[in-house]
């Protein structure tokens, strides 16, 4: 046992600060250039100089600083992006991978094909409105559909933990079968691995999918142009909030179910109604905010969104207010974000609303020239702020 | 949605903004400090500054619980957490705060058992479920969270739970405000008082600010209209030459505070002679420690705490930001070496930290952007 140390011990000289700080500073000095804010400049001008400097810093080549993978690397936010770009893209770099879209677009013997893969590790495995099985089919179907492809075939790989109940597995597979029927695809190949107890959390699933591109158009977030409209297909954040509540750690009970659904039917209707669609994304990890940032960055445009126009269920709003998180960052599993040429926005909205999964579709904002690379939110309160990527998962606030 | 939308009405905001503008004396500059990080978050999240005339500047104060935790304390917590058979529990905000060897998230990735909890009481559940482990709660925060830590210790004592303790880092707001008032490099016109802290301590503790320093204080709620109304109330006091403590947040804050909560704190904790605040240095009688009667729940006595003071990185200007001397973007490393991904200073970590709020919500040329969003 020791006496009280630390804060009561008095102000003596401490040990020097961490080496990672020195490293960050050195790197900053190398890259930041000469534009340290001139003290003499007028404040608005100085602030703009700082903003320009930050902009340059953000365009630096990403580097993973952590020695180990943390949970943030799996959140879909900035840490994920850094990992993907610095490790995976760096190693595999090729023109098909480089756009980092939800599916790769391939040309095989004259036909255009989309290929994608996704792994599912959701906890709990069963939740109101669905389970890991629906997710594993719908998620991959949606990644193909938002590329403009008609999903056809899926693979399914299972990593099972020793001791996992066969009844649960059967239930999961039955959900996959049902979801496949709704989406009109077939599971045509698969793999099974079993790991020792404690080496996995019950059941993980990987699915890969392949689809054909029947439309001439090439969809991608880099296509966004000033004047385009931004549309969401329905209320956002239902899935993420359902999962948070289903984990039972928050002691909040609410009547809410996951939005997991296959979007290929909705997207087929949309693409037949108009040729004005420039980009589609399904708003999974990282939520709508992350997609809008990808649009702004990839196309070098501004995205301006009206908070009032974003459909959010009261339950999701309420839970988000209690937890201090923003629904814009909460995952959906059956909602898409569409960027559509301004003059076609009305047609696109009508096509979405005519489908049961798009009844509450809404135009939430538009693409602008200024400020490039930034997502602006006109708040319901009447102010303006930016909507940035999160580093990791949204963390509940203390008070 | 009820209880939310009525506090975010743009129409009411426009009306208040017009009244605030009328109260500004031509040629006079006003600096108002919102003490609490929760207010900073609200101001940025709702873009409240769009409603203020250029002569009113909001200065972001020290009331962000994780922002004021010095690096050495984070290192101490990680040393505790890495003891054998130990589980550390922490609020989510704390997980990314850097010590000299990384954050709780990094320590977790390296195998240390650190778990995020939503309430200190959740730590007791973990302690009951894991009788062969020692569970330590990383207790941080101002008077807002101190009562729940105190209640948790009282509950643990009543249950005779032998494997639970707290690493107490609770701080008190009044000495920090006094340190800021006594700081020579600052001229403030008034304070937006912390709402949630005041639900516990009430409004009386701020009376010295109005009486001895001649600065008005308005205790404010956390919705954007609350803050705008508080600014109006401060401007009205200034225009009438008054300096009083007023309570805007009457729907929640009782003038005399919450006696039951204060009693619980007083039963379990006592003031430390002094405590180090990140960026502000040592402030006397500014933090709490566990009373000897509850020594069995004091991790500082149960564990070998290194207690090594770690100097803040020289480049970090968190102290100046916490005192409101610098705006976040005026810090030399803001947004380049210090970002939310790799925060050097704690102000960049918590969503309530002034730097993180500015980086995540306000990193824009407000004039240019307002023009864009109107068209």
Q: Is any Cβ of chain A less than 8 angstroms from the Cβ of B66?
A: yes
d(CA B33, CA A372): 32
pLDDT at residue number B165: 98
Q: Which of B338, B363, B373 has its CB closest to that of A378?
A: B373
Does the pLDDT at position B36 exceed 70?
A: yes
CB of B126 within 8 Å of a chain A CB? The answer is no
A306: which 2 tokens?
A: 């009206």
Average pLDDT of the segment spanning B20-33: 95
Asked if B300 lies within 8 A of A6 by C-beta distance, the reply is yes
The nearest CA of chain B is from the CA of A159 a distance in Å of: 22
The contacts of residue A189 (CB under 8 Å, 6+ apart) are A155, A156
Long-range contacts of B265-272, Cβ-Cβ distance < 8 Å, separation of 24 or more? B265/B143, B265/B146, B265/B147, B265/B150, B265/B200, B267/B150, B267/B154, B267/B291, B268/B149, B268/B150, B268/B153, B268/B154, B268/B294, B269/B146, B269/B150, B269/B168, B269/B170, B271/B172, B272/A7, B272/A8
pLDDT the model gives residue A10: 43
List of chain A residues whose C-beta atoms are within 8 Å of the C-beta of residue B340? 78, 391
> Number of CB pairs < 8 Å for A and B?
266
**What's the CA gap between A127 and A143, in Å, rounded?**
22
Question: Looking at the predicted structure, is the pLDDT value of residue B150 above 60?
Answer: yes
User: Does A395 touch chain B if contact means CB atoms closer than 8 Å?
Assistant: yes
Out of B49, B315, B369, the one facing A371 most closely (by C-beta) is B369
Measure A142 CA to nearest chain B CA, in Å: 30
Tell the residue number behind the tokens 């709620």, with chain if given.
Answer: B221
Record: contact B118-A37, CB cut-off 8 A: no
Omega into A263 within 30° of 0, i.e. cis?
Answer: no
Determine the distance in angstroms separating the CA of B184 from the nearest CA of chain A, rounded to an integer.
21
Strand ranges in B220-354 using DSSP code E only, listed in sequence order = 245-247, 269-271, 274-277, 281-284, 288-290
- pLDDT tens digits, B235-245: 999 999 999 99
A206: Cα separation from own chain's centroid: 18
The whole-number average pLDDT for the span B86-102 is 90
Nearest to A24 among B70, B344, B372 (CB): B344
Are the beta carbons of B106 and A70 separated by less than 8 Å? Answer: yes
Give the per-residue pLDDT at A28. Answer: 65
Is B254 near chain A, with CB under 8 Å?
Answer: no
Structure tokens at A376: 């602006």
How far, CA to CA in Å, does B247 sit from each of A181, A282, B33, B252, B257?
Answer: 61, 46, 16, 10, 12
Instruction: Check if B105 contacts A (Cβ < 8 Å).
Output: yes
What residues form DSSP beta bridges with B334? B338
Please state, rounded to an integer, the average pLDDT across all residues of chain B: 92
| Better pLDDT: B367 or B308 | B308
Band of residue B372 on the pLDDT scale cut at 50, 70, 90 = low
Contact criterion met (CB < 8 Å) for A6 and B332: no
- Supply A214's token pair: 């029947």
Q: How does A98-134 read in b/e, with b if 16+ C-beta sit within 10 Å? A: eeebbbbbeeeeeebbbbbebebbbeebebebbbbbb
Cβ B340–A78 below 8 Å, yes or no?
yes
**B270 shares contact with chain A (CB less than 8 Å):** no
pLDDT of residue B184: 81
Lowest mean pLDDT among A268-272, B340-344, B359-363: B340-344
Query: Contact B77/B361 with Cβ under 8 angstroms?
Result: no
Give a three-class secondary structure readout of B114-154: EEECCCHHHHHHHHHHCCCCEEEEEEEECCCCHHHHHHHHH
> Picking from A3-7, B94-98, B143-147, B355-359, which range would have the lowest pLDDT averaged per residue?
A3-7
What residues of chain A, 199 to 238, have a C-beta less than 8 Å from chain B? none
A72 in reach of chain B (CB within 8 A): yes
Chain B residue numbers touching A36 (CB-CB < 8 A)? 332
- A13: contact with B, CB 8 A cutoff: yes
A397 contacts on B by Cβ (under 8 Å): 38, 41, 92-93, 350-352
Strand partners of residue A330? none
| Rounded-to-integer distance, Cα A360 and Cα A233, Å | 7
> Are the C-beta atoms of residues B228 and B250 closer than 8 Å to each other?
no
Strands A384-386 and A375-378: antiparallel
Measured between CB atoms, does B46 come within 8 Å of chain A?
A: yes
3-class state of residue B324 by DSSP: coil
Which has more pLDDT, B128 or A397?
B128
- Unique residue bearing structure tokens 């009206």: A306
Q: Mean pLDDT, to the nearest integer, of B247-258?
A: 96
Check A381 against B71: CB less than 8 A apart: no
Give the pair of three-digit tokens for residue A188: 């045509």
ipTM: 0.87
Residue of A nearest to B9 (CA): A381
Mutate which: B200, B364, B370, B371, vs A, most A CBs within 10 A: B364
Yes or no, beta carbons of B118 and A379 under 8 Å apart: no
From chain A, pick out residues whose CB is under 8 angstroms from the CB of B370: 384
pLDDT score recorded for residue A252: 78
Question: Minimal CA–CA distance to B342: which of A41, A334, A391, A348?
Answer: A391
Calpha distance A398→B37 (Å, rounded): 11
CA-based nearest residue to A103, from A282, A229, A289, A272: A282
pLDDT at site A248: 78
* pLDDT tens by residue, chain A, 399 residues: 334 444 444 444 444 445 666 776 676 666 555 444 444 556 678 888 888 888 888 888 888 888 899 888 988 888 899 999 999 999 999 999 999 989 999 999 889 999 999 999 999 999 999 999 999 999 999 999 999 999 999 999 999 999 999 999 999 999 999 999 999 999 999 999 999 999 999 999 999 999 999 887 789 999 999 999 999 999 999 999 999 889 877 777 888 999 999 999 999 999 999 999 999 999 998 999 999 999 999 999 999 999 999 999 999 999 998 888 899 999 999 999 999 999 999 999 999 999 999 999 999 999 999 889 999 999 999 999 999 988 877 766 655
Structure tokens given for A399? 């008070």
């Amino acid at each position: 046992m020791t006496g009280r140390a630390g804060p009561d011990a008095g102000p003596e000289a401490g040990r020097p600060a961490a080496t990672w700080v020195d490293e960050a500073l050195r790197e900053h000095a190398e890259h930041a250039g000469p534009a340290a804010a001139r003290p003499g400049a007028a404040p608005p001008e100085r602030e703009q100089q700082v903003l320009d400097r930050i902009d340059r810093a953000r365009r630096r080549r990403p580097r993973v600083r952590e020695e180990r993978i943390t949970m943030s690397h799996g959140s879909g936010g900035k840490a994920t992006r850094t990992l993907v770009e610095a490790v995976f893209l760096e190693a595999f770099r090729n023109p098909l991978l480089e756009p980092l879209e939800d599916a790769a677009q391939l040309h095989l013997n004259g036909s255009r094909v989309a290929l994608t893969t996704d792994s599912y590790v959701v906890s709990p495995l069963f939740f109101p409105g669905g389970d890991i099985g629906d997710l594993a089919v719908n998620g991959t179907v949606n990644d193909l559909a938002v590329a403009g492809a008609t999903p056809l075939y899926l693979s399914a790989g299972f990593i099972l933990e020793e001791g996992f109940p066969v009844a649960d597995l059967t239930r999961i597979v039955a959900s996959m079968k049902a979801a496949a029927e709704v989406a009109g695809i077939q599971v045509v190949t698969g793999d099974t691995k079993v790991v020792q107890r404690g080496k996995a959390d019950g059941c993980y699933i990987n699915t890969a999918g392949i689809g054909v591109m029947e439309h001439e158009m090439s969809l991608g977030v880099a296509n966004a142009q000033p004047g385009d409209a931004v549309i969401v297909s329905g209320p956002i954040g239902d899935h993420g909030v359902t999962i948070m509540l289903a984990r039972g750690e928050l002691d909040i009970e609410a009547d809410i179910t996951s939005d997991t659904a296959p979007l290929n039917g909705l997207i087929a209707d949309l693409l037949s109604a108009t040729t004005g669609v420039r980009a589609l994304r399904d708003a999974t990890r990282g939520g709508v905010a992350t997609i809008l940032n990808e649009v702004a960055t990839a196309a070098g445009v501004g995205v301006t969104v009206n908070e009032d126009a974003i459909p959010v269920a009261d339950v999701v709003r309420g839970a988000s207010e209690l937890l201090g998180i923003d629904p814009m960052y909460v995952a959906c599993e059956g909602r898409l974000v569409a960027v559509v040429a301004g003059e076609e926005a009305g047609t696109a909205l009508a096509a979405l609303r005519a489908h049961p999964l798009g009844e509450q579709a809404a135009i939430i904002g538009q693409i602008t020239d200024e400020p490039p690379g930034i997502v602006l939110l006109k708040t319901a309160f009447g102010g303006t702020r930016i909507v940035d990527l999160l580093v990791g998962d949204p963390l509940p606030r203390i008070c | 949605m009820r209880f939310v939308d009525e506090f975010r009405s743009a129409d009411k905001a426009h009306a208040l903004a017009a009244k605030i503008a009328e109260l500004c004396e031509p040629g006079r500059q006003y600096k108002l400090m919102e003490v609490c990080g929760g207010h900073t978050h609200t101001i940025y999240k709702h873009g409240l500054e769009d409603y203020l005339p250029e002569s009113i500047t909001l200065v972001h104060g020290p009331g962000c619980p994780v922002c004021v935790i010095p690096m050495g304390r984070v290192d101490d917590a990680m040393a505790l957490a890495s003891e054998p058979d130990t589980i550390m529990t922490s609020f989510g905000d704390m997980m990314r705060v850097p010590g000299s060897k990384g954050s709780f998230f990094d320590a977790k990735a390296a195998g240390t058992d650190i778990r995020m909890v939503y309430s200190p009481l959740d730590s007791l559940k973990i302690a009951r479920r894991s009788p062969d482990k020692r569970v330590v709660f990383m207790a941080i925060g101002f008077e807002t969270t101190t009562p729940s830590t105190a209640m948790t210790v009282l509950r643990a004592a009543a249950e005779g739970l032998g494997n639970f303790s707290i690493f107490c880092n609770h701080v008190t707001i009044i000495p920090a405000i006094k340190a800021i008032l006594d700081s020579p490099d600052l001229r403030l016109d008034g304070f937006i008082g912390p709402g949630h802290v005041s639900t516990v301590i009430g409004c009386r503790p701020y009376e010295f600010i109005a009486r001895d320093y001649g600065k008005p204080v308005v205790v404010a709620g956390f919705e954007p209209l609350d803050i705008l109304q508080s600014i109006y109330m401060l401007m009205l006091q200034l225009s009438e030459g008054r300096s009083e403590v007023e309570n805007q947040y009457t729907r929640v804050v009782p003038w005399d505070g919450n006696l039951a909560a204060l009693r619980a704190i007083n039963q379990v904790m006592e003031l430390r002679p002094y405590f180090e605040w990140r960026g502000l240095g040592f402030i006397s009688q500014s933090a709490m420690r566990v009373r000897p009667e509850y020594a069995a729940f004091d991790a500082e006595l149960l564990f070998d705490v290194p207690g090594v003071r770690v100097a803040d990185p020289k480049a970090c200007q968190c102290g100046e930001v916490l005192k409101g001397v610098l705006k976040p973007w005026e810090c030399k490393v803001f947004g380049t070496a210090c970002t939310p991904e790799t925060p050097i200073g704690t102000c960049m970590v918590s969503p309530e930290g002034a730097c993180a709020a500015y980086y995540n919500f306000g990193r824009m040329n407000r004039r240019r952007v307002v023009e864009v969003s109107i068209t």
